[in-house]
Amino acid sequence: MCGIVGYIGDENARDIIIDGLKRLEYRGYDSAGIALCTENGLVVRKRQGRIQNLENMIAGEDLYANLGIGHTRWATHGAPSDRNAHPHCDRSGRIAVVHNGIIENFMELKEWLQKEYGIEFQSDTDTEVIAQLIGVFYSGDLEEAVFRAVEKLQGSYGLGIICSEEPDKLIAVRRDSPLIVGLGEGCNFIASDIPAILRHVRKIYLIENNETVILTKNDVKIYNAQRQEVHREVFHVTWDADAAEKEGYDHFMLKEIHEQPKGILDTIRRRMDADGKIVLDGIRMTKAEIENFNKVYIVACGTAYHAGLIGKTVIEKLAGISVEVDIASEFRYREPFVDDRTLFIAISQSGETLDTLAALREAKRKGARVLSVVNVVGSSVARESDDVFYTWAGPEIAVASTKAYTTQLVCMYLIGLYMGREKGTLPQDVYDRYIEELLAVPEKIEKVLRQEKQIENLAKKFYRRDNIFFIGRGMDSAVSYEGSLKLKEISYINSFAIAAGELKHGTIALIEEGTLVIALATQDRLLEKMISNIQEVRARGADVLAIAKENRTAVEQQADDVIYIPECMDEITPLISVVPLQIFAYYIAKQRGCDIDKPKNLAKSVTVE
Ligand code: M6R
């Protein structure tokens, strides 16, 4: 969580850093700050709340510097406040640090610094120990002081460091938190993520774990933990900065919902030849290798985990192999049965989710083959995997994931189809039918998007409800988890999703007059059972909004309202039925006046455990 950015060059660092922070705000937004190396020494300004507050604070000030660092925070240690906002300084006020991550041994280091050096801390953060440590080690050589300080740190960090005594130098360090370097002409940048600096550069260095980078305006040197200089290939960013703009939509979330047909088609097209044959170029999956797997483990968090739930059904069905799905933060402490015959699939939009990364490392340690499904090229999950299956969703900025989810689902189908076909266990006609259905999904989603106004009206009808339940059977139950997560994270309505058949075993006790139940009823083979479940909740006073395929009149007869999705195979519905739920959540949140793209307490990239 948290975003860091830094600049060294001939321009005014202040404007470049504020602009970069705005583009990183999705990573955390409870406070922001900037440190500039001016001719009068280090100037640090920080403010609780959004970056706008910081901008307002410095608006009247004549601040000019060619070197600076900035930070947008998602609080871990210490409440969101001015004093806990970054940058943090050493006691001399000459050294400033911005940090993304968590220092696990900060208490121990803090006590040591207090006892040995009598340091009085100015904040409740773990980050301040880094600044104070560098300060006590500093005797005219910032590089040396940083190396010595970092040796003492345990935990995760992406750091930006400047010192007023060395105004021609910006230092960055990475361990388990994302960090990139942007290479300009007569200027260089650091950032947590590419969009922060894409306006200025397209040439990037992806910094690896335990590396330290020394930047001057004309040079960048990367060192490993042994202080040996390392060579890095330049990564050229091909996508456009405009892809990360709202383009007339009120919110990124709505724009990203509308981008799903394209993202899905792009993800399919990248992996399919003209004859409809799935090609996993660059991914090692020979027939022999696939036959050697005796189990697939899918591990992820949040929305990506929900994609994994669908992945289980799809891959088991198409590839005829047992699939387990787990939440990443649980997997690593479960002592799972994973070995060299396991295909471990990590799903992550950002590729930086620490829980997923830790689970991936655990699986690798046990000998599993790691295939990741990732949206951000060059992210940590991608780099640490044996093979990567990129989703082609484009940059996803809204905290609530939408297009990343549906493109992750596409990957589940493609992996299942590919494995089934390679093994020779999937009949050709079944394979062909799936390909045909998958290729038709973008147009079917367009059809759902055309019902946006109707869904907005339903949101206007229901937005005052305090409790909303989501129910479904089979694949619909996995989609209902995702619909419920979307709703609660952006509208703050208490919402609960449950497999419809499980309701009667306890949760139905909560259904009463005025409860809204959203019933997913898209699975034809389970439709009768689902209709019974709808009747059960209606009998207890619930209002029912159903999601069903066109012309399922039995649903219309039982539910109060119905949103229809186009005709398709039961197995494909998750790709389509989630879209009205995303739109519904969006308009409910809008009616309630919520900050849709930046919901409270959340961040886009969860890089803490
Ligand atoms: O970047 P990842 O896909 O690894 O993120 C996992 C979850 O944190 C993420 O999906 C989260 O649940 C979203 N806010 C959901 O909209």
pLDDT at 241 over 70: no
21 phi and psi angles, rounded to 5 deg: -65, -40
Q: Which of 301, 325, 380, 402 to mutate to test the pocket of ligand 1 (most atoms within 8 A of CB)?
A: 301
Are residues 83 and 123 in contact, defined by beta-carbon separation less than 8 angstroms? yes
- At 13, the amino acid letter reads A
pLDDT tens digit string along 334-385? 889 999 999 999 999 999 999 999 999 999 999 999 999 999 887 889 989 9
Please state, for a pLDDT cut of 90, what percent of the chain lies above it. 85
Q: How far is the CA of 461 from the centre of ligand 1 (A)?
A: 29
Please give the single-letter amino acid code of residue 150. V
Q: Locate the ligand 1 atom nearest the alpha carbon of residue 300 and give its number.
A: 4
CA distance 349 to 604: 9
Task: Indicate if the pLDDT at residue 26 is higher than 80.
Answer: no
Locate 227 and state its tokens.
Answer: 């202080």
The sign one gets for the Cα dihedral 447, 269, 480, 489 is: negative
Pocket test for ligand 1, best of 1, 252, 326, 353 (most atoms within 8 A of CB): 353
In whole angstroms, give the CA distance from residue 289 to residue 369.
Answer: 10
Q: Would you say the CB of residue 399 lies under 6 angstroms from ligand 1?
A: yes
Ligand 1 near 301 CB (within 6 A): yes
Split at pLDDT 50, 70, 90, the class of 580 is: very high
DSSP structure class, residue 177: S
Q: Would you list the DSSP string of 325-342?
A: EEEHHHHTTS-----TTE
| pLDDT at 476 > cutoff 90 | yes
CA of 276 to the centre of ligand 1 (A): 31
* Under 8 Å between Cβ of 348 and 396: no
Q: Which tokens sit at 213?
A: 């980078």
Q: What is the DSSP letter of 278?
A: B
Asked if the model's pLDDT at residue 541 lies above 80, the reply is yes
pLDDT at 246: 78
- 170: β partners: 215
Q: What is the pLDDT of residue 195?
A: 86
Calculated CA dihedral for residues 71, 80, 129, 19, nearest 10 degrees: 0
What single DSSP character describes residue 232?
A: -
Determine the pLDDT at residue 603.
Answer: 79
Question: Once rounded to an integer, what is the mean pLDDT over residues 485-509?
Answer: 95
Using the atom order of ligand 1, give the atom closest to the CA of residue 404: 3
Give the burial class of 566: count Cβ atoms within 10 A of its Cβ; 0-12 exposed, 13-18 middle, 19 or more buried. middle
Copy the structure tokens of residue 239: 């996508």
DSSP state of 272: B
- Any bridge partners for residue 69, and if so which? 6, 35
Which residue's CA is the closest to the ligand 1 atom numbered 4? 348
Between 181 and 245, name the one with better pLDDT: 181
The pTM is what? 0.80
What pLDDT sits at residue 243? Answer: 65
Question: Which residue of the set 486, 549, 598, 604 is catalytic?
Answer: 604
- Cα 350 to middle of ligand 1, angstroms: 8
Two tokens, residue 191: 């950032």
Expressed in angstroms, the distance from the first to the final Cα of the chain is: 11
* The pLDDT of residue 396 is above 70: yes
For residue 414, the number of C-alpha atoms closer than 13 Å in the C-beta half-sphere is 29
Q: How confident is the model at residue 322 (pLDDT cuts 50, 70, 90)?
A: very high
Ligand 1 atom 12: residue of nearest CA: 302
Ligand 1: distance of its center to the CA of 348 in Å? Answer: 7
CA of 305 to the centre of ligand 1 (A): 8
Statement: residue 275 has pLDDT above 90:
no
Dihedral sign of CA atoms 371, 373, 378, 384 in order: negative
Q: What's the chain's average pLDDT?
A: 94
CB 237 within 8 A of CB 204: yes
Whether the pLDDT of residue 38 is over 90: the answer is: yes
Q: How far apart are CA 499 and CA 484, in angstroms?
A: 12
- With the most atoms of ligand 1 within 8 angstroms of its CB, the residue from 349, 354, 380 to mutate is 349
Query: How open is the CA angle 465-605-225, to the nearest 5 degrees?
Result: 160
Q: pLDDT digits over 158-187, tens only?
A: 999 999 999 999 999 999 888 999 999 999
Say which amino acid occupies 254: L
Centre of ligand 1 from the C-alpha of residue 394, in Å: 15
Contact between 212 and 220 (Cβ < 8 Å): no
* Other residues' Cβ atoms within 10 Å of the Cβ of residue 46: 23
Mutation pick for ligand 1 pocket among 27, 256, 401 (CB with most ligand atoms within 8 Å):
401
Is ligand 1 within 6 A of the CB of residue 348?
A: yes
pLDDT surpassing 90 at residue 102: no
What is the per-residue pLDDT for 530? 96
| Residue 503 and residue 529 in contact, taking contact as beta carbons nearer than 8 Å | no
Stretch 6-11: mean pLDDT? 98
Is 604 annotated in the active site? yes
- DSSP structure class, residue 198: T
Given this model, what pLDDT does residue 264 score? 96
For residues 307 and 300, the answer to whether their CB atoms sit within 8 Å is yes
pLDDT the model gives residue 55: 93
H/E run at residue 36:
strand 31-38
132 lines ligand 1 (CB under 6 A): no
Across 384-403, average pLDDT: 93
400 lines ligand 1 (CB under 6 A): yes
Q: Is 606 in the pocket of ligand 1 (CB under 6 A)?
A: yes
Centre of ligand 1 to C-alpha 23, Å, is 18
Q: Is 489 in the pocket of ligand 1 (CB under 6 A)?
A: yes
* pLDDT of 609 over the 80 cut: no
142 phi and psi angles, rounded to 5 deg: -60, -40
Contact (CB, 8 A) for 265 and 219: no
Residue with tokens 């750091």: 159
* Confidence grade of residue 76 (pLDDT, cut at 50, 70, 90): confident
Q: What mean pLDDT is predicted for residues 502-530?
A: 95
Distance CA 208, CA 190 (A): 13
Over residues 285-308, the pLDDT tens digits come to 899 999 999 999 999 999 999 999
pLDDT score of 64 more than 90: yes
Told to judge if 2 belongs to the known catalytic residues of this protein, a careful annotator would answer: yes
Does the CB atom of residue 164 touch ligand 1 within 6 A? no
- Judged against a pLDDT cut of 90, whether residue 276 lies above it is answered with no
Residue 248 phi/psi, 5-degree rounding, is: 90, -15
- Alpha helices (H) in 167-259, listed in sequence order: 252-258
For ligand 1, whether the C-beta of 581 sits within 6 Å is no
Beta strands in 375-472 (DSSP E): 387-390, 467-472
**Is 260 a pocket residue for ligand 1 (Cβ < 6 Å)?**
no
Q: Ligand 1 centroid to 300 CA: how many Å?
A: 9
The answer to whether 598 touches 467, Cβ cutoff 8 Å, is no
Q: Cβ distance 94 to 163 under 8 Å?
A: yes
304 lines ligand 1 (CB under 6 A): yes
Is pLDDT above 80 for 242? no
- Model confidence band, residue 493 (pLDDT cutoffs 50, 70, 90): very high
Residue 150 — very low, low, confident or very high, per pLDDT cuts 50/70/90? Answer: very high
Find out whether the beta carbon of 380 lies less than 6 Å from any atom of ligand 1. Answer: no
Looking up tokens 């406040």, which residue turns up? 81
**Cα 388 from Cα 497, distance rounded (Å):** 31
Q: Distance between CA atoms of 493 and 468, rounded to whole angstroms?
A: 7
CB 322 within 8 A of CB 316: yes
CA of 604 from ligand 1 middle (Å) equals: 7
What's 31's DSSP letter?
A: E
| Atom of ligand 1 minimally distant from the CA of 402 | 16
Q: Can you tell me the mean pLDDT for 388-405?
A: 93
**H-type alpha helices, 302-402:** 302-319, 328-331, 354-365, 380-384
Note the residue count of the chain.
Answer: 609
Query: How far is the centre of ligand 1, averaged over its atoms, from the C-alpha of 358 (Å)?
Result: 15
Region 327-338 average pLDDT: 92
Ligand 1 atom with least separation from CA of 400:
16
The whole-number pLDDT of residue 244 equals: 64
pLDDT at 399 over 90: yes
pLDDT at 450 over 90: yes
- Amino acid 109: pLDDT: 96
Does residue 30 or residue 524 have the better pLDDT?
524
Instruction: Kindly state the average pLDDT of the residues 483-511.
Output: 96
